[in-house]
Amino acid sequence: MTEKTGVRFEEAERRRGLILASLALVGAVAAFVVRSYPTLVGGVVLVTTYLMTGNRYQWVYIWRKTLSRDFLGLRVLLKTMFQVWVWEKTGTSVVSRWAEVAKKFPDKKAFVMGDRALTFKEGDELSNRIAWYFKRQGFKSGEVIALFMETQPEYVFLWLGLAKLRVTTALVNTSLRGPQLIHCLRIAGCKAVVFGDEMADAIKEIQNEIRDMPLFQFNSPERPSTPVIADTAPLAAEINEMAPEPFTDAVPAKPRDTLLYIYTSGTTGFPKAAIITNIRCLLIPLGVHKSAQLNSSDIIYDPLPLHHTAGGVLGAGQAIVLGCTVVLRKKFSASNYWSDAAKHGCTVGQYIGEICRYLLAVPPGPSDRAHKVRVMAGNGLRPQIWEEFVERFGIQRVLEFYGATEGNSNLVNMDSKVGAIGFLSRMVSSIYPLTLVKCDEITGEILRDSNGKCIRCGPHEPGVLLGKIDPKKAILTFAGYADKTASEKKMVRNVKVDGDCYFNTGDILVMDHFGYFYFRDRTGDTFRWRGENVSTAEVESVISTLIGLKDAVVYGVKIPNVEGKAGMAAIADPERKLDLTALAKGLKSSLPAYARPLFVRLMPEPPLTATFKLKKKELMEQGFALNLHNDPIYFLDQKTWEYVPLTNKLYEELVQGIIRL
């Protein structure tokens, strides 16, 4: 056995016994598969053939360790694929699926927030009023209306009502302002804007630039007296004049028709409008529902923004598509997370990005385990805090998954393997064709062999994840963006054979011998210093641990006349209590010299996106310049290995090359 897999067999007899037992098990499994899953027979034959050749001891050990996991994953995948196939064949859309759910659970609460709630029946009636209203306003099938509003129970029913009219809704990030906001409205071709009263100031700022778009202000029931800005229709009041009867005045949507536009986070530039079709909006919540083994009696705690996929499709979709009650919160609060979950009897909690780290940073209290949450579902739980998180809050299962709003490359960690973002069984590679290929970790450029094909990564070799695009299969489609040029940039052709096409996730992952995947970095986030590649994600994890789980962003900055990029860390330190001496000491013991940030910038607030991802583009552009902001910057003295204030004199010496690095 190889040392990498940790396989050690002490006795030859045990080796032979294991092989014989495994071969017998293969026969039993093969018989079961032939009866239950005929399409997998070919895969089983290949497995059996492989057992007769090659590194038998290693493969048998791996197969024995992953068999139960792989069959669990296979069962979930087949159930999900079958349900999606049925929905496609029957022409099911989100609207028609919602009609079934609302009819089944009329008096059940669909969305809850604080002391307010809307039942499935009330939500259906609200969406009908919206459809009739915008029909009267002259909007037609295929047009786009922007929804610019903070979380509230009515949010989902606004876009659902527009969907009944077959109008596409662009879910605009509420943190956007000025040029970025205008860009998002233009790139999706919006014909009008529905905005919440809390977003009135942001609309006023750009009102002159969007005069061609009618404005509809929706006042929250909590603030009915908020004044309406000029040239704006009072939507909340006017829809009450509409009848709540079912809206049937439109041709039913098809499964692959565009339902929503959801924007990428914009961590590295202006957001792109990703196309979300009906079938994708059905698939995303269904996949997590099946993977987590949920049922309609589960109550989901969703404190995430509804204008992003995690909160607005995956979370809210548990109500719209599957009949669960979903508990919302306008803005995530670490100190109220568990008390909210307990108050509403939630059984499933959602997380993204750095949320789990924030929850751990809250001092221990009685609410830590005074809840019924058994499953935490999301992405971004760091391996360094995984076990501590589960132990402290009494979580039975963590469903960490990987995926992108627009992508077709999704992974799920179904057996709570610490640190893994999912797995891929070798038995289902033909059914769900994802592949890890070698790339330049700095530029993200995919490497190819002498035949022009991509080079597949072996176990423990970092590479970029690609997902095969197959228009015939709903789970493998790539609808792309409103900007077709941006869509083409995400496609990689001639990966394995001439003419094939794959979606480029842009993420560098590593797969171990057992098929578990681990996130390494975004392509472009890795930088090179002193002849070595530095992973920003790894350095961020170390710094976050050293400074008590505070926010830290790591990136590379260019120093004139110096090869490569030096590391720089931006750390949120609003109370100015960070011990830089202790940080330098901890970095010295935890990281090699080339990976230690040369600069540290202390910031008054966390540099986060709305989905709790760490911003980098603006920070990278500012670099270690002192005249572009008022934040203090420190430099790692090359002699003492301590951080000292970066003064104007020291800055000039660095730029001029007087200080040797």
Q: Using CA atoms, how far apart are residues 619 and 554, in angstroms rounded to an integer?
A: 9
The pLDDT-based confidence of 551 (bands split at 50, 70, 90) is confident
Domain limits of the chain? 12-89, 94-406, 525-655
The pLDDT-based confidence of 610 (bands split at 50, 70, 90) is low
pLDDT digits (tens, 9 = 90+) for 199-213: 999 999 999 999 999
Residue 62 has a pLDDT of 79
Q: What percent of the chain has pLDDT over 70?
A: 86
pLDDT, average across residues 107-133? 97
Residue 11 has a pLDDT of 41
Residue 167 has a pLDDT of 97
Residue 529 has a pLDDT of 80
Which pairs count as long-range contacts for 173-178, CB under 8 Å and 24+ apart, including other chains? 173/263, 173/265, 173/266, 173/271, 173/305, 173/307, 173/308, 173/610, 174/148, 174/149, 174/150, 174/199, 174/202, 174/305, 174/307, 174/610, 175/609, 175/610, 176/202, 176/271, 177/202, 177/205, 178/205, 178/206
Residue 20 has pLDDT above 60, yes or no: no
Residue 618 has a pLDDT of 78
pLDDT digits (tens, 9 = 90+) for 459-508: 999 999 999 999 888 888 998 898 888 888 899 999 999 999 999 998 88
Superfamily per CATH, domain 94-406: ANL, N-terminal domain (3.40.50.12780)
Nearest C-alpha neighbor of 504 from the set 452, 461, 472, 467: 467
| The architecture CATH gives domain 525-655 | 2-Layer Sandwich (3.30)
Average of per-residue pLDDT values in the chain: 86
Look at the chain and count its residues: 661
pLDDT digits (tens, 9 = 90+) for 366-410: 999 999 999 999 998 988 899 999 999 999 999 999 988 888 889
pLDDT digits (tens, 9 = 90+) for 253-284: 999 999 999 988 544 457 789 999 999 999 99
- Choice between 244 and 484, residue whose per-residue pLDDT is larger: 244
Give DSSP secondary structure letters for 465-493: EEEE--TTSGGG----BSSHHHHHHTEEE
Residue 87 neighbours by CB distance under 10 Å: 21
DSSP for residue 252 = P
